[in-house]
Amino acid sequence: MKKNIFTQTAERLRSDPVTCVILALFFLFCMASGIYFAVSAQSRNALLSFAYILLAPAALAAEYLIGFRFPALFNLLLYFLIAGGILGSCYDVYYTIPCFDEILHGISGLLFAAAGFTLMKRILGSDDSKKNFLLCLLVGVLLSLTIANLWEMFEYASYAFFGIDMQEDMIINGFSSYLLSGTHNETVVVDGIVKTVIYLSDGSTRVIDGGYLDIGMYDTLNDMLVCLVGCAVFTLLILLDYKFGGKCRHALIGKIPCEYQKADSPACDVSEKNDGKTE
């Protein structure tokens, strides 16, 4: 009989001390950040820091409900990704380390591909045929790209409906336009922009030094491209691992222990029977 979520989660953490340490460090980081921002009267950042703590029990609940267990490396990357949201938006690491956003999106592409692979493996059960392996890989990549697309839609919706700038602006020095030419048969190339002056309806102006302000298009497409790169890295690693016997895939792909399922369940991997036993 399947154990309740609290018993199962407690046993899961006792059996994986590395993940337990990762979770503890994540909680400490979120709590310390929340207290720091609260004392500094930065209510928005304090609220985000405390709210992010809820993602940890949500991840553990997902493991229980779906019936898989992610390894320590996956959890390390996952909680770094979550903490990265606090580091980037609350501590302004997005500005101090310009490539930080790309790093997070690349990690997310890899992680969601691994999660999709695991989920499909959970559905297919113990059949380790090449056909099922490739199907799991395809589903993983498609899930990751779908989540990337939905996230970018969420960022745009936040701006369109609530005026929240989740799409990072950037300064560009040129662009190409059909609109300026008045026809789709000719493209006007504007290059070498060093300053933009915006005239407002109240008579005031705002000057943008260094070029022209792109308000999100580059960020959106760049994030999706970086996610694709993360998927490609995952695909390459898993294909290489499959070619050499599949000994290392569980460094990223979740296991499906027998304790999560009925003893005679066909979805219980034969290779996991010994690993999944509990006293």
Spell out the SS3 assignment of 231-248. HHHHHHHHHHHHHCCCCC
> pLDDT grade, residue 259 (50/70/90)?
low
Domain that holds residue 177: 170-214
Average pLDDT, integer, range 194-200: 94
Kindly report which listed range (60-69, 88-97, 114-123, 252-261) carries the lowest average pLDDT score: 252-261
pLDDT digits (tens, 9 = 90+) for 105-129: 999 999 999 999 999 988 887 667 8
Query: Does 64 share its domain with 83?
Result: yes
Residues 124 and 83 in one domain: yes
Q: Residue 157: pLDDT above 70? A: yes
**What are the structure tokens assigned to 95, written together?**
């500005």
Average pLDDT over residues 256-270: 51
The answer to whether residue 275 scores a pLDDT higher than 60 is no
Mean pLDDT taken over the chain:
86
Answer yes or no: do 224 and 203 share one domain: no
Buried b (16+ CB within 10 A) or exposed e, 173-209: eeeeeeeeeeeeeeeeeeeebeeeeeeeeeeeeeeee
97 and 199 belong to one structural domain: no
Q: Are 247 and 266 in contact (CB under 8 A)?
A: no
**% of the chain at pLDDT higher than 70:** 90
Name which of 85, 139, 134, 136 is nearest 108 in CA terms: 85
Please give the average per-residue pLDDT across 69-86, as a whole number: 93
Please check whether residue 27 lies inside any domain of the structure. Answer: yes
Q: What are the start-end ranges of the H helices in 215-278?
A: 217-243
- The answer to whether residues 155 and 175 belong to one domain is no
Helices (H), 125-253: 130-162, 217-243
250 and 147 share one domain: yes
Count how many domains the chain has: 2
Q: Angle at Cα 266 formed by Cα 237 and Cα 246, nearest 5°?
A: 20
* Sequence-separated contacts (24+) of 49-58 with Cβ below 8 Å: 49/86, 49/90, 52/82, 52/83, 52/85, 52/86, 53/27, 55/82, 56/23, 56/26, 56/27, 56/82
Q: Are residues 138 and 71 in the same domain?
A: yes
Average pLDDT over residues 168-176: 86
Chain centre distance of CA 103: 10
Average pLDDT, integer, range 70-85: 94
More confident residue, 269 or 257: 257
Q: Specify whether 127 is located in the same domain as 44.
A: yes
Bridge partners, 195 (sequence order)? 209
Residues 202 and 242 in one domain: no
* Confidence label for 2 from pLDDT (cuts 50, 70 and 90): low
- Together in a domain, 203 and 233: no
CA distances from 275 to 102, 118, 154, 236, 270 (A): 36, 17, 40, 27, 10
Does one domain contain both 252 and 210? no
Task: Compute the distance between CA of residue 112 and CA of residue 61 in angstroms, rounded to an integer.
Answer: 17
Is the per-residue pLDDT at 12 higher than 70? yes
**Averaged pLDDT, 260-269:** 48
Note whether 97 and 114 are same-domain residues.
Answer: yes
Interaxial angle between packed helices 130-162 and 217-243, expressed in degrees from 0 to 180 and rounded to the nearest 10: 170
Long-range contacts of 154-163 (CB under 8 A, 24+ apart): 155/216, 155/220, 156/216, 156/220, 159/216
List, for residues 22-41, the tens digit of each pLDDT value. Answer: 999 999 999 999 999 999 99
Q: Cβ distance 69 to 92 under 8 Å?
A: no
- Beta bridge partners of residue 205, listed in sequence order: 199
> How many residues are given for the chain?
279
| Residue 279 placed within a domain | no
265, pLDDT greater than 70: no
pLDDT: which is higher, 66 or 141: 141
Is 86 part of any domain?
A: yes
pLDDT band at 150 (very low <50, low <70, confident <90, very high): very high
For residue 268, being part of any structural domain is answered with yes
8-state DSSP, 210: T
